[in-house]
Structure 1
């Protein structure tokens, strides 16, 4: 290895200090990166910032990771981990209301993610499987005794990574699915890394516990090797043994999700303009462009003009996760919208524009 490549490697893994807020130019200087490149990276994520603008820690941390560095948060925030679901416009405590938790299912292929979700939803989504990989990202809500929960089912960790890379903090809680017979596998480790990068609580769901080859203690031992010490082993990570097929243990998993949500106090301001993230989008012959959107804060209304990256449009219709047409959708709601000019990319941030002219101007500037 040449000395130049050694220098580059050393520089690329260094930690960049991230205060609660930082200007784009200062962040670029800290990374020794051209500020114009940082602005371009922000634009790709749907953010319009100039070089002298100030960005918050969430966005800065993602930019740092995009450029191959590690984010090092400095100065503790009394409010706890930052979240893109509630921004400065909605920090007035009087305007915040409790919202359903958003939960992402992560884990190794064939470890029972979709079977578990099938058991949760009580609907048959397993028939849509091909080669063991879920064909479409799904965003939907379930209603339990404890209230609503929004689930994101990722077809692969690439989709989850893409959303984070574009500045979308899409989840409040990660469910790490580990099969009791296989134990920790390469994608399990990858999933652990993603959950940690998102800085969210982790619940372990040990699936396939009804198999003769199931070894739950071995799963706990392997997880401990990756610094995940579960409650049965004296740690603080919640672990729930279950069977997606029989449904045993699933009520306990739901109960623990609500417990974490209650402790974390997830809130948003439903009275402001909506902001959300595109989970998936597609073009249908008879219906045009359809985008599945997770509303993160505010309330999204039919008839509003929205901008998503380089795509804009007037919302002609909103559908809930069961296909019912609705007029509006509040925080944590997964919805499908019609009326966009083109197909937006997954992970693109949705913002509401005052007029179509303003939306067109924003898109043209990108």
Structure 2
């Protein structure tokens, strides 16, 4: 009789050899391994028994599966029956009982779960009311009862929000803004004195037009800037460094005070010293005074450069006297300001001026810690066709290195390359060093803060959060308008900053004194600038940066200034009589203000020809520049930015036909009541007066 191996039996039955060995062992047949053998009869008997066992097992499994399927079908029929029964009951139940049932269930769930409302420091009253499910007017009423005067778009204080939330059954939790959470990781402890090292001063040159600012900058740059090796050509990047006796000075190539003000308005106070350039032959001029006002508002020390001393009619002592009258007193006269007599054109006195700047820097003790991640401010930014978004950054503290990941404004990037003011690629830039950065995802704005972060993930999160917040909120510096001042009980005003402009210089002092005398315990009047001429963009920028309002006497804003004021939400008020402003503030303080009188400009026309009509007077041939002209409307005649007459339109015609209305882009003839001194080039402003009841 032949022999059969164990693994051969296992293959025929499609089972494991170990199962064959175990089964044979139970029958008393010992097999050591799958290579072991048994006789053919034993093998056949084993295979028959195994097949019978397998068939029986299959029948049992099939029976259990059928029973399970039957049970599932029975359960499905039961569920369908219950669902159908519930639907029939729902249809038969009156609606009022169903609503009551839902309300009870919802109330029970709310009682089981504590209600929590989370707010950040930038949550408005409207957003808070929406979160707790209460009408905004009701929340404002509750706040009023607590003595908190807010509008729906004002930010709500945490303590007041907590009281209101508790009254409506909510628990208040202060939630840190996501951006603040991310930036908290970047918070750096104040540097120890031993880690601080001297840094170069950052200087801005300011002054009146044609007094030599640009010539001075060109002279300093030409003689003091270290020339690059590639042909001695330097690259303008908005700022540059000069070397004086082994020490460096950083000059911002933005000499105009307008740029200085705009950066200060963004909160970017990056200038340490201001060089005020005054011509020795002209003396103190209007923009000189404006430059002084801007420097004082930013609390930046002034070093005076009296320029053009080489001219025959130069009078430096007269300039010193004029500046002293305006509060800029020379050191030799007992003041705090350093003076230098220079000639930017001939290079006279430049060394003395730069020494004064370094001396002022020593007095300020300018220091910074270079051994940490960099922080800085964007000076200028642009989209370069070849290099993409590029920004010039002034490092304020720390050291910026190539490859650093950073956040700047609402964008971010990685410093692919750093280029200094000479056009050379550098590996790092320390405090007060201007550097051009490549590798930004988008073009930032001038004045944006630049911060190095740990990795690109954090930078991307912060940038996205800032971009989202910029869309949601229009956060601006708090400004006090006359409407707020004149609304009794609505807001406690501590200080009202004012910019005053008049038509002639003789009125400036009188108006300033009259306004200053209005200061009281409740309202302090702070005149930050007073001058003559039309209200211009510089005045609006200064007012916006300082949270001030602008008051004009017998002068008007230019069209550009009016548009900018509207964009920046700067309040401009014009008066013909000083007592009108005084009366308004006095009435406001007593809470007895009459309905507000508003002036609405409806159109502007330009006089292009003048006709003298016998027995009728002078008729102005005009072109409507903007808006439209209506008969019997009030008008004011403006000549050389000054108001020369105010009255009413006596007649309005087109092609000898009397008309009621002439829109923009059309010509017309008009006659002003009791006024015949109309001249070609005059601008006639058409306006109406309306009364608006105060809320």
CA–CA separation in structure 1 for the residues paired with 2:254 and 2:224: 17
Q: Deviations over 1:234-271 (max 9, x none)?
A: 42311101000111110001111111222221100101
CA–CA separation in structure 1 for the residues paired with 2:384 and 2:345: 33
CA–CA separation in structure 2 for the residues paired with 1:225 and 1:121: 33
Please list, as runs of the form range in 1=range in 2, the aligned pairs for 1:104-143 lying within 5 A after superposition. Answer: 104-122=204-222, 138-143=238-243
1:198 is aligned to: 298
Instruction: Determine if contact 1:309/1:349 at 8 Å carries over to the other structure.
Output: yes
Q: CA deviation at 1:112?
A: 0.7
The reply to whether residue 301 of structure 1 matches residue 401 of structure 2 is yes
Residue number among 273, 284, 296 corresponding to 1:173 in the alignment: 273
Q: Deviations over 1:50-97 (max 9, x none)?
A: 6xx9xxxxxxxxxxxxxxxxxxxxxxxxxxxxxxxxx96343112111
SS in 2 for 1:342: coil
Q: CA deviation at 1:360?
A: 1.5
Structure 1 vs Structure 2 CA RMSD: 2.9
Q: CA deviation at 1:151?
A: 0.8
Instruction: Determine if contact 2:396/2:432 at 8 Å carries over to the other structure.
Output: yes
CA–CA separation in structure 2 for the residues paired with 1:318 and 1:186: 40
Residue number among 72, 91, 103 corresponding to 2:203 in the alignment: 103
Residue number among 330, 337, 357 corresponding to 1:230 in the alignment: 330
Q: Deviations over 1:39-58 (max 9, x none)?
A: xxxxxxxxxx96xx9xxxxx
Instruction: Determine if contact 2:373/2:452 at 8 Å carries over to the other structure.
Output: yes
Q: CA deviation at 1:224?
A: 1.4
Change (3 A) 1:93 1:352: same
SS in 1 for 2:189: helix
Q: CA deviation at 1:200?
A: 2.1
Q: CA deviation at 1:156?
A: 2.4
CA–CA separation in structure 1 for the residues paired with 2:402 and 2:156: 36
Please list, as runs of the form range in 1=range in 2, the aligned pairs for 1:214-293 lying within 5 A after superposition. Answer: 214-293=314-393
1:325 is aligned to: 425
CA–CA separation in structure 2 for the residues paired with 1:206 and 1:360: 49
Instruction: Determine if contact 2:224/2:244 at 8 Å carries over to the other structure.
Output: no
2:251 is aligned to: 151
Instruction: Determine if contact 2:379/2:393 at 8 Å carries over to the other structure.
Output: yes
CA–CA separation in structure 2 for the residues paired with 1:191 and 1:259: 22
CA–CA separation in structure 2 for the residues paired with 1:298 and 1:31: 43
CA–CA separation in structure 1 for the residues paired with 2:261 and 2:148: 24
Change (3 A) 1:245 1:172: same
Change (3 A) 1:31 1:93: farther
CA–CA separation in structure 2 for the residues paired with 1:32 and 1:252: 55
CA–CA separation in structure 1 for the residues paired with 2:300 and 2:148: 26
Q: CA deviation at 1:138?
A: 2.3
Instruction: Determine if contact 1:108/1:186 at 8 Å carries over to the other structure.
Output: yes
Q: Answer 1 or 2: higher relative contact order, Cα 8 Å, separation at least 6.
A: 1
Structure 1: which 5+ residue stretches go unaligned?
1-23, 39-48, 54-86, 126-135
Structure with greater helix share of residues: 2
SS in 2 for 1:286: coil
Change (3 A) 1:113 1:31: farther
CA–CA separation in structure 1 for the residues paired with 2:192 and 2:224: 42
Instruction: Determine if contact 1:137/1:152 at 8 Å carries over to the other structure.
Output: no
Q: CA deviation at 1:219?
A: 1.1
Instruction: Determine if contact 2:206/2:255 at 8 Å carries over to the other structure.
Output: no
Q: CA deviation at 1:150?
A: 0.6
Output the TM-score relative to the length of structure 1. Answer: 0.72
Instruction: Determine if contact 1:274/1:297 at 8 Å carries over to the other structure.
Output: yes
Change (3 A) 1:124 1:230: closer
Change (3 A) 1:167 1:35: farther
SS in 1 for 2:216: helix
Change (3 A) 1:147 1:193: same
Residue number among 434, 438, 441 corresponding to 1:334 in the alignment: 434
SS in 2 for 1:89: coil
Change (3 A) 1:248 1:311: same
SS in 1 for 2:445: coil
Q: Deviations over 1:100-146 (max 9, x none)?
A: 11111111122111111111122699xxxxxxxxxx88211001115
Change (3 A) 1:89 1:140: farther
Q: CA deviation at 1:158?
A: 2.2
Instruction: Determine if contact 1:310/1:363 at 8 Å carries over to the other structure.
Output: yes
Structure 2: which 5+ residue stretches go unaligned?
1-120, 123-146, 158-175, 181-186, 226-235, 467-695
CA–CA separation in structure 2 for the residues paired with 1:270 and 1:30: 46
Q: CA deviation at 1:31?
A: 12
CA–CA separation in structure 2 for the residues paired with 1:31 and 1:246: 62
CA–CA separation in structure 1 for the residues paired with 2:276 and 2:334: 19
CA–CA separation in structure 2 for the residues paired with 1:315 and 1:95: 25
Instruction: Determine if contact 1:90/1:272 at 8 Å carries over to the other structure.
Output: no
Instruction: Determine if contact 1:103/1:149 at 8 Å carries over to the other structure.
Output: yes
CA–CA separation in structure 2 for the residues paired with 1:257 and 1:273: 28
Q: CA deviation at 1:184?
A: 1.3
Q: CA deviation at 1:332?
A: 0.5
CA–CA separation in structure 2 for the residues paired with 1:356 and 1:92: 29
Q: Between Structure 1 and Structure 2, whose CA radius of gyration is higher?
A: 2
Q: CA deviation at 1:213?
A: 2.6
Q: CA deviation at 1:330?
A: 0.3
